[in-house]
A and B are shown apart, each in its own frame.
Chain A
Amino acid sequence: MIKENLDLYEVFIRARRGLDHKHVGSLHAEDPEQALEYARDIYTRRGEGVSIWVVRSRDITASQEDDSEAFYDPSNDKPYRLATYYELPDEVNNM
């Protein structure tokens, strides 16, 4: 098998029931079933998880570095979006 034919997969593991799946790394595999098995062998050998998700890396749509100005800068001058911007009356100060 030629490695160039293999797809890259991102692996997400849920460490315990009730927690979110967390991204732990990536691996190469021929199809999703094989990716799941390799994820088990590579990322859960020391009892790290109770559930695994694998996703083809190319199926992930990611923001680009070039987008950062348009995406993130506008929020810098909008402090009113943060809860700490508001002064709360004493009665509700424990929010």
Chain B
Amino acid sequence: MKDTERKQATLEYAQRLGDDAVVLGHRLSEWCSNAPFLEEDLALANTALDFIGRARMYYSYAAELADDGRDEDDFAYLRDQREYRNLLLLELPRGDFAYSMARQFLADVYNLLFLERLMQSSDERLAAIAAKAIKESRYHLRRSRDWMLRLGDGTEESHARLQRAIDDLWGFTHELFEIDALEQALVEQGVAVDTPALRDAWLEQVEQTLAEATLERPADDWAVKGGREGYHTEYLGHLLTEMQALHRAYPGCDW
């Protein structure tokens, strides 16, 4: 792999990871003023800000690699949905509280495993971002795992809602462990994380928590994919419309 190729691929990779973070961060931010009670509202807003901070780090790095005058805002606010390469699981609407917590748990287990590997990346910047983010993710998982147990092993209503959420989300988790040619090439360079290798550890942790929460593990009989290629659910467009409206109306605005 030539240096210029590696740089271009790393740019694309950092942008993907930024997309994952900004989309999930935005979904979490939608709970602000809508959470079941004040304490949870603040906790969710904190988590949202962690992901938005993470997106800034990835996008800033991507902007540096691009070196064409774009900055982090250009990546977040001036790309359309086909250019976004986030995992589909993260863009699904926030749904009810059980749904958001189930998604968060599935993503947090993944993030922790992912960041542990990314810390070992041969790319120092990505390794440094991972080292910073992993501390947040440990706390995120502590919280979302807690909610899985509370809701799953809670009332009849909370159990039913959480089971429905897990069932509805399960088919979107397979994409987390897919890898394309770009990432495969970066894995060989020691830059990217070999995500297919994470699945066993992820499944083990998720299954253990599902059992503890008295939930059933859904069957692997359907899968939706396409986020890394820019093929999204109908929901991402709406999310971006809202998220980008201000920046598009007042380009470069600052406050």
Contacts and interface: CB of A to CB of B under 8 A. Distances in A.
A35 to B, nearest CB: 9
A94 B64 CA distance: 64
Nearest to B47: A41
Given A41-B46, A45-B46, A29 B146 contact: no
B29 to A, nearest CB: 15
Interface in A12-59: 27-30, 33-34, 37-38, 40-42, 45
Interface string A1-17: 10100100000000000
Interface string B33-61: 00011111011001000000000000000
Nearest to B151: A1
B143 interface: yes
Contacts of B37: 1, 3, 6, 28
Contact of B142 (A6, A30, A37, A45): A37
A29 B146 CA distance: 13
Interface residues on A, range: 10 to 19
B146 A33 contact: yes
A5 to B, nearest CB: 10
Interface string B6-38: 000000000000000000000000000000111
Interface residues of B, number: 14
Given A41-B46, A45-B46, A30 B150 contact: yes
B146 A41 contact: no
A32 B210 CA distance: 23
B42 A37 contact: no
Contacts of B46: 41, 45
- Residue among B39, B40, B142, B146 with most chain A CB within 10 A: B39
- Residue among A1, A28, A29, A40 with most chain B CB within 10 A: A1
A45 to B, nearest CB: 6
A37 B143 contact: yes
A38 B36 contact: no
Nearest to A33: B146
A1 to B, nearest CB: 5
A11 B133 CA distance: 27
A48 to B, nearest CB: 14
Contacts of A45: 46
Contacts of A42: 39, 42-43
Given A30-B150, A33-B146, A34-B146, A41 B36 contact: no
A57 to B, nearest CB: 14
A28 B39 contact: yes
B36 A37 contact: no
Interface in B103-142: 139, 142
A92 to B, nearest CB: 54
Contacts of A33: 146
A38 B146 contact: no
A41 B150 contact: no
Given A1-B37, A37-B43, A42-B42, 16 more contacts: A1-B36, A3-B36, A3-B37, A6-B37, A27-B39, A28-B38, A28-B39, A29-B39, A34-B146, A37-B142, A38-B39, A40-B139, A41-B46, A42-B39, A42-B43, A45-B46
